[in-house]
Structure 1
Amino acid sequence: MRVRSPAIDFSDVRPDWAPNREFAHYYNAASTVPAHVEPFLVKVMMRARDELAKRPGQQRLLEDVEIFIKQEVQHCKRHVAFNQRLYDSGYAGMRELEAPYEADYRRWLEEKPLRFLLAYSEGFEAMGSSSAEVFFSELDDYLEGADENAVTLWKWHLAEEFEHRSVCYDVYKALYGHGLRGYLYRLYGFVYALAHIGRHVHRVNAYLLKQDRRNLRSEVEHAASIEREQQVKRHLTRASLPRLLKVFSPFYDPADKKAPAGMAEYLNL
């Protein structure tokens, strides 16, 4: 693991950066997640680092935590820049939808125990490594002809999510993850993260599509857009669900996952 700071130019990236606009908008909506969850993860892991430091034999994990934190900062910066491009392109209403989502994280940092914060964080990281597998292995048809800068953002980010896929898991396990209670609480955090983040992405995606559909000139175009949206959802669900279900296994360990083909290129940026 290492920290990377790739130069990605978003100045000419269009909101419909992929030939399938509905596909692009799903990932445009998803781009609002790192802008808020990554700062949250950084704060959670800083608290966890302090707890780990009190325990013997955790030096290697502490080193991984430091790199994890720095990687997440870079992810946040790039997605904030990408999202600004979306705001400037006629989708400033995204900000209103992001506000309550960001407020959840601020409130949790004030009110929730570290056990919950880490279980949620590990849930997000489990989603992230699964998303990386899907993006690199299952989306070639959607990415053909897409804007290279938008694709680079996602492939670099998700490659690093896969690279550090074990850090939150190992921290949670070291502090809270032993025994049946640790296992069940990990699943609670995963389901909570899946539902919380999924609801937010759904709201933003619906807004983006609604904005676009205002400009469609016929019912035929509107129906075609809805059909493309449903096709994207079905494809992503079929690709993601088997990977996400593995997280429920008591033997789940993200370290056992094998990197998809093509990922190494984006870890050499």
Structure 2
Amino acid sequence: MKVRYPAMDFARIRPHWAPHIEFVQRANASSTIPSHVEPYLVKVMLKAKAELDPSETALHEDLAVFIKQEAQHCKQHNAFNERLRVSGYPELARYEERLAADLARFLETKSLKFNLAYSDGFEAMGALGATMWFDVYNKYLEGADQEAVDLWRWHMAEEYEHREVAFKIYQKLYGKNDLFNGWLYRVYGFLFAVVHLMGYGKRVGKYLLETDRERMTQQERAASLAREKEFAKTTGKRAIPELLKVLSPFYNPAKTKAPEGVGPYLTQYETEGA
């Protein structure tokens, strides 16, 4: 694991940064999540760090890198999202405010165990994201603006790279060979995160596409709906089986297969901004 500081410039990014706008708007919706979830993750991990035995040197070191990586993810997505926020989607801020309020409430009212289980659930989805962006989405990226592709592939590659950290910390603090905490409660946190964040992404994606479709002809809307349906089918076919693996009591993110090209892809960012 390494902290990277990519020099990305989104000044010219377009809301429709690839020809397949149904894919793009689902990605744009998802891009608003790191603006709020990544700072939340940092706060959760700092709380966990205080509970983690100082003798767990390697885990403390991984946690330090994890926190710095997540801070960079938030910074870069914020810069990208600013272009989206000023591009004709006035209600977007309302959705983001609700997500931010939810996460603040979790920190204030729920246990560290819950927040770690939720965080681990988010990280499991992040590892899946690497698979999607490197192995599945290639046909949707033809003709795409490279800045957007680089943002997502860099981010998702690092999500794969640090996929074990939240899981290890949760298991160290709460698993302890306990069936309920080590498996069932972890699964509860994962399912909660899936419903919460995928539900948010779906609602925001729907809003973005509905806004776009207001400017379409009837024929264009029909074509857009058909593309959206095809995209959902394609992604679900790959994503659902991968997500189901997280439910297993034998799940271990260390065993998750690396998407092709993840390692070499990250090397280009290891000196930028250093």
**TM-score, length of structure 1 as denominator length:** 0.97
Could you list the per-position Cα deviations for residues 189-228 of structure 1 after superposition, in whole angstroms to 9, with x for gaps in the alignment? 00000000011101110110011011112x1111111111
Question: 1:65-112 deviations in whole A, cap 9, x for unaligned?
Answer: 010000000000111111100012112321111111110111111111
Aligned to 2:205: 205
Q: Distance in 2 between matches of 1:258 and 1:164?
A: 13
1:4 alignment partner AA: R
Deviation at 1:267, TM superposition (A): 1.5
Give the superposition deviation at 1:56.
Answer: 5.4
What is the identity, as a one-letter code, of the residue corresponding to 1:207? Y
Name the aligned partner's letter for residue 264 of structure 1: G
1:165, 1:254 within 8 Å by CA — same for their partners in 2? yes
Spell out the pairing of 1:124-203 with structure 2 (5 A cutoff): 124-178=122-176, 179-182=178-181, 183-203=183-203
What is residue 112 of structure 1 aligned with on the other side?
110
- Give deviations 1:139-192, integer Å, cap 9, x for gaps: 111112111000000000000000000000000000002321121000000000
- Alignment map for 1:1-269 (pairs within 5 Å): 1-52=1-52, 55=53, 57-178=55-176, 179-182=178-181, 183-217=183-217, 219-268=218-267, 269=269
Q: Give the match's secondary structure for 2:48.
A: helix
Q: Which amino acid counterpart does residue 235 of structure 1 have in structure 2?
A: T
Q: State whether residues 49 and 62 of structure 1, in contact with CA within 8 Å, keep that contact through their aligned partners in structure 2.
A: yes
Q: Secondary structure at the match of 1:46?
A: helix
* C-alpha displacement of 1:265: 3.2
C-alpha change, 1:258 and 1:112, in structure 2 (3 Å) is same
The residue identity in structure 2 corresponding to 1:15 is P
TM-score (norm 2): 0.95
- SS of corresponding position for 2:87: helix
Once residues 264 and 148 of structure 1 are traced to their aligned partners in structure 2, the CA distance between those partners, rounded to angstroms, is: 19
Letter in 2 for 1:241: I
Structure 1 CA distance for aligned equivalents of residues 91 and 127 of structure 2: 29
Give the deviation of 1:36 after TM superposition.
0.5
Task: Specify the alignment match of 2:272 in structure 1.
Answer: none
**Any idea what SS the aligned residue of 1:216 has?**
coil
- How far residue 240 of structure 1 moved from its aligned partner, in angstroms, is 0.5
Report the CA distance between 1:128 and its aligned residue. Answer: 0.5
Q: How many residues are treated as equivalent by the alignment?
A: 266
Identity within the alignment, %: 51
Q: Structure 2 CA distance, aligned partners of 1:249 and 1:108?
A: 25
